[in-house]
């Protein structure tokens, strides 16, 4: 009898332990063949409905300790998918998502009980856990994305989906290898589990859940005298000359109206008196896949003013590149945006002529869908020269540079400095309690504190902060560079900006492996962007090495164009290194004496 009781006790304890283990189980999705782990957040759940709802729907749940409800407008009818069978329309009934908040002290047993009670509602399709990644919240919808190896795999996908009660909605209009699918009410899987299932078959290149991103924003002439980032006279921190040397650059160019900068943000107030003359086209709204752009907040107008507010019009502020054109690409960037919406913004921008895309936002959950869209811009934009993509590093005062900034080494990643030339930190002279992210993916720095700019109510502010304000400074410099040399590739623009940056702040800049454009420091990248030096360098796209006798070791660098060689001799055991982003053109006699040598780097 005692043995039986002991066996029962062990079995009972084992069940409790297993139950506890299940409650702590981490789900993951695949990104670049690696697992990205998520922590379950018991204070929130997402509910997918098959009909429009209002607050009355929740009256029947008065026994639940609900403390808040947020509606996420993830209506697939507002997004353009192309069905596999073009003779049929999109049949998607999983339209509306709400997020329900519980008290923070909710335990997993109560959480599961609440989930079952909500799932019993007739018009509820799915109840989905909420998650945390790197301490930040995110949610998952009932949809997921699958990337095919080739378009013919669509029918293989449809057959596999049917076996698991999964609906194939359609493919992305910009990237036709990316399919969108939805877990139906009959499907026993959630979107994370379904995405993992599809990926692990090996039949498809990639798969990931549809992530609903939270707050992605990175920002906590009348006024030109306050624009210390363009001309620092010691307005703040009593430190002069720490600026991007904009006035010197303007002696060479104030920007060409043929160069267009897409501000991918909350939309630009296109009739702002300091911006309206520099607006190009009607823009695009990534949330609804429609034109024109929408004004979904104030952040985008602030970024746009830093890039291209009109100059010498007796009002407001001046942009870094006051004669280039602005394209408004809008998205809320606050709650509920999907990876596919964000990807569509990039794809639309480069397809519609953007030379530069400025992005003052970022999060933590990576997405191969967004990666592919950015890669398209970097490689296919500007008729194959590549669109310059600029991103904010983040405001977390640590080495965790935000995604997507860290996703591709060809992105220009921008950190923020304070007015005394140091990396903005919680100890900076400006006394503001935040800090710029830094680390191995950081490229350059730009002003990020108390920046005057335009506002979405048609007025101005003098306190735009964060790497959100640093990023558009560099986007503006990229636009100036392309204004004097539109033939440069995106990589060449990046090399010009990095190689000409100012070594400010008293940091120990050093040569670092994998950082080819000069000395570098983990807190400052290559240094503070220098508009004048970058424009001057880009104005001379080739270096001529003519009629020279090289008798000692010599390196000729050209970070932005070609090196032309004619009538050159290398003698006395010397070594000549020709290092060019562009081509090394041997245009005439080139003689290397025995015992001497030369090397061409690209």
Identified catalytic residue from 236, 272, 299, 473: 299
92, 265, 443, 530: the catalytic one is 265
In the annotation, is 272 catalytic?
no
Could you write out the three-class secondary structure of 455-522? CCCCCEEEEECCHHHHHHHHHHHHHHHHHHCCCCCHHHHHHHHHHCCECCCCCCCECCCCCCCCCEEC
Q: Which of 330, 358, 468, 596 is catalytic?
A: 468
Q: List, as one string, the DSSP characters of 207-238.
A: EEEEEEE---B-----SGGG-TTTS-BSTTTT
For residue 36, the cross-strand partners are 29
CB 275 within 8 A of CB 308: yes
Catalytic residue status for 265: yes
Per the CB < 8 A criterion, the answer to whether 325 and 254 are in contact is no
Residues 6+ apart with CB under 8 A from 479: 255, 259, 261, 307, 308, 320, 321, 324, 355, 356
Would you call 393 exposed, middle or buried from its count of C-beta atoms within 10 A (0-12, 13-18, 19+)?
buried
Q: 371 catalytic, yes or no? A: no
Q: Rounded to an integer, what distance in angstroms lies between the CA atom of residue 246 and that of residue 255?
A: 11
Preceding peptide of 463 cis, ω within 30° = no
Structure tokens at 503: 């070594």
- Find out whether 567 and 549 touch, Cβ atoms under 8 Å: no
Please answer whether residues 231 and 453 qualify as being in contact, where contact means their C-beta atoms are separated by less than 8 angstroms: no
Please tell me the distance from the alpha carbon of residue 263 to that of residue 249, in angstroms, as a whole number. Answer: 22
Which residues are known to be catalytic?
265, 299, 468
């Amino acid at each position: 009898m005692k043995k039986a009781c002991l066996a029962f006790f062990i079995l009972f304890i084992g069940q409790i332990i297993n139950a506890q283990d299940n409650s702590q189980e981490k789900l993951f999705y695949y990104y670049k063949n690696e697992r990205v782990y998520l922590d379950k957040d018991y204070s929130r759940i997402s509910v997918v409905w098959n009909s429009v709802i209002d607050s009355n729907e929740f009256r029947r749940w008065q026994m639940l300790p609900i403390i808040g409800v947020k509606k996420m407008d993830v209506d697939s009818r507002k997004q353009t998918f192309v069905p596999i069978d073009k003779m049929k329309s999109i049949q998607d009934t999983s339209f509306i998502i709400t997020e329900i908040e519980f008290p923070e002290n909710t335990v997993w047993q109560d959480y599961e009980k609440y989930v079952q009670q909500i799932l019993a509602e007739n018009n509820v399709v799915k109840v989905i856990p909420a998650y945390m990644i790197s301490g930040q919240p995110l949610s998952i919808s009932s949809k997921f994305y699958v990337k095919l190896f080739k378009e013919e795999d669509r029918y293989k996908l449809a057959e596999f989906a049917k076996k698991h009660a999964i609906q194939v909605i359609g493919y992305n209009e910009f990237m036709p290898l990316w399919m969108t699918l939805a877990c139906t009410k009959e499907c026993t899987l959630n979107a994370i589990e379904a995405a993992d299932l599809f990926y692990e078959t090996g039949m498809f290149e990639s798969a990931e859940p549809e992530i609903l991103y939270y707050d992605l924003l990175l920002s906590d002439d009348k006024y030109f005298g306050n624009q210390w980032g363009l001309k620092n006279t010691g307005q703040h921190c009593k430190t002069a000359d720490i600026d991007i040397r904009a006035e010197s650059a303007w002696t060479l160019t104030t920007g060409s109206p043929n160069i267009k900068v897409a501000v991918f943000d909350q939309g630009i107030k296109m009739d702002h008196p300091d911006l309206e003359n520099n607006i190009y086209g009607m823009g695009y709204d990534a949330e609804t896949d429609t034109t024109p752009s929408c004004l979904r907040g104030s952040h985008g107008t602030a970024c746009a003013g830093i890039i291209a507010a009109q100059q010498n019009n007796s009002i407001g502020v001046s942009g870094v590149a006051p004669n280039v054109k602005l394209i408004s690409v809008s998205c809320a960037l606050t709650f509920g945006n999907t990876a596919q919406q964000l990807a569509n913004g990039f794809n639309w921008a480069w397809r519609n002529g953007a030379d530069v895309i400025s992005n003052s936002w970022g999060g933590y959950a990576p997405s191969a869908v967004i990666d592919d869209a950015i890669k398209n811009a970097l490689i296919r934009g500007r008729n194959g020269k590549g669109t310059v993509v600029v991103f904010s590093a983040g405001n977390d005062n640590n080495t965790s540079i935000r995604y997507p900034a860290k996703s591709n080494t060809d992105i220009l990643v921008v950190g923020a400095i304070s007015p005394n030339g140091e990396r903005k930190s919680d100890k900076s002279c400006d006394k503001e309690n935040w800090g710029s992210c830094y680390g191995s993916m950081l490229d350059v720095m730009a002003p990020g504190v108390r920046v005057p700019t335009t506002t979405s109510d048609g007025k101005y502010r003098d306190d735009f902060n964060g790497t959100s304000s640093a990023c558009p400074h560099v986007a503006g410099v990229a636009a100036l560079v392309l204004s004097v040399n539109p033939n440069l590739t995106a990589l060449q623009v990046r090399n010009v900006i990095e190689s000409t940056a100012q070594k400010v702040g008293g940091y120990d800049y050093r040569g670092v492996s994998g950082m080819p454009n000069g000395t570098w420091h983990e807190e400052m990248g290559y240094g503070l962007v220098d508009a004048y030096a970058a424009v001057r360098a880009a104005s001379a796209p080739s270096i001529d090495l003519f009629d020279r006798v090289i008798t000692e070791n010599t390196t000729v660098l050209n970070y932005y164009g070609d090196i032309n060689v004619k009538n050159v001799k290398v003698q006395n055991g010397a070594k000549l290194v020709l290092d060019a982003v562009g081509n090394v053109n041997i245009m005439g006699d080139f003689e290397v004496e025995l015992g001497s040598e030369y090397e061409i780097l690209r």
